[in-house]
Structures are given as C-alpha cells and as structure tokens.
Amino acid sequence: MKLFYTPNSPYARITRVTALELNLSDKIKMQKVTVRDANSTLLNYNPTGKVPTLETDDKFILSETRIICAYFDSFNNDIRLVADTSDPFSLQLEGLVGGFLDGVAVWVREVRRPKTEQSPSIIELEQSRALRCLGHFEKLSDKLDQQPKLAHIMLGCTLGIIEARLQKFQWRQKHLGLAKWYDEFSSRSSMQATKPEV
C-alpha cells in the first residue's frame, strides 16, 4: 500500500497515526507529496488532489480520512480503532471531533492568506466554533482515556494543528482537563513521529 500525505495536514496525520497504532508500518509506503500544485504526483492517483490518499495493493484508490482508517482497521484483528454502533460514545465523539477539525482547518487556511485578503467574519465564526467544541470536550475530559481510538487520534491531531498553526489562540488555560489529556496522549510514539512541521 502507498499512503500519500503532507506533513502539516491533520487529516493525513490521523491516517499516519492510525497506521502506526495498528502496527502497519511494514505494509505501507509513506509518500510525501505537494498539494495545490498542478505538477503534483498525487494527481496521477487522485483527481481531487487531496490528502490523505491511499493506493491499495490491489490498485484501488481510497480517499477521505475515516475511509482509509477503517480500511487500515481491517488489517489488525487484535486492535479496533474505528468506532461502530457497539461503542456509541466513541462514535458520537468521532462525529463531533470531525466537525471541530473541519472548522479548525478552515480557520488555519484563512489566517494563512495575506492579511488584506482574510475574512474577519470567517475567523470569528471558526474561533467561536472552536471554543464551543473545546468547552464540550473539556466536560468530557474525564472520559477520555489514553487507550487510542480513532476519536482520540482525531482530537489529538486537531489540538496539534491548533498548537502548530494558531499559536495566538490560548485554549489551554480554560480547558485544563483537556490540556492534561492532550499532553499525555501526544507523548505517544505515533504522535511524536507525525508532529506537524513548524
């Protein structure tokens, strides 16, 4: 299998962490690519030009983070990371963290634009969404354990991109339980090996 990624994509990072947690490193070739680039190698595999993209051993192309993670999950019978209906808490958390990540991704893209082209209303909207989500996850922080599930990986990678790309956003002070959970979870070798480039 071949996984196409960029180092700073939280979506791709989720699949990379999942692969490491499932002990699939020897089955997957990691290929770093460029995006938003008409000459990117990725376009030979995925016309959307988005990461993560996975080429399976059978030459099928899978895209979208959860689809790839679910595919990886099928290779390790001893560990299950992706939630199903038998674990409604994790299933609910996956959905909420997915929305949180999507909002943070929009915010990060907006602040990367030249200052004169940024939309203050979009930034305000996404900051408000992030604060609501952080407040919700803070209330759940005592239920977040260190045994990784996809929801935990998604949450850790979302907080990781906030810390890497939105340093002025001081979220920790009012979310101490969540910050404590994140610090411990992000010390995992899978998280350390996939940290965003600064």
**Looking at the domain assignment, is residue 80 inside a domain?**
no
User: Does 57 share its domain with 145?
Assistant: no
The kind and range of the H/E element at 156 are: helix 150-165
User: Does 163 share its domain with 97?
Assistant: yes
Q: What is the pLDDT of residue 6?
A: 97
Q: pLDDT (tens digit, 9 = 90+) per residue, 89-145?
A: 999 999 999 999 999 999 999 999 999 999 999 999 999 999 999 999 999 999 998
Provide the pLDDT confidence category of residue 77 given band limits of 50, 70 and 90: confident
Range of the domain at 108: 88-189
Q: pLDDT (tens digit, 9 = 90+) per residue, 140-169?
A: 999 998 889 999 999 999 999 999 999 999
The CATH code of the domain that includes 21 is 3.40.30.10
Q: Which residues contact 7 (CB under 8 A, 6 or more apart)?
A: 32, 196, 197
Q: What are phi and psi of 4, to 5 degrees?
A: -90, 135
198 pLDDT exceeds 90? no
SS3 content of the chain, % helix, strand, coil (to 5): 55, 5, 40
**Looking at the domain assignment, is residue 116 inside a domain?**
yes
User: Does 16 share its domain with 68?
Assistant: yes
Give percent of the chain with pLDDT exceeding 70. Answer: 99
Tokens of 197: 């480039």
User: Does 31 share its domain with 94?
Assistant: no
**Looking at the domain assignment, is residue 146 inside a domain?**
yes
List, as one string, the DSSP characters of 161-196.
HHHHH-TT---STT-HHHHHHHHHHTTSHHHHTTPP
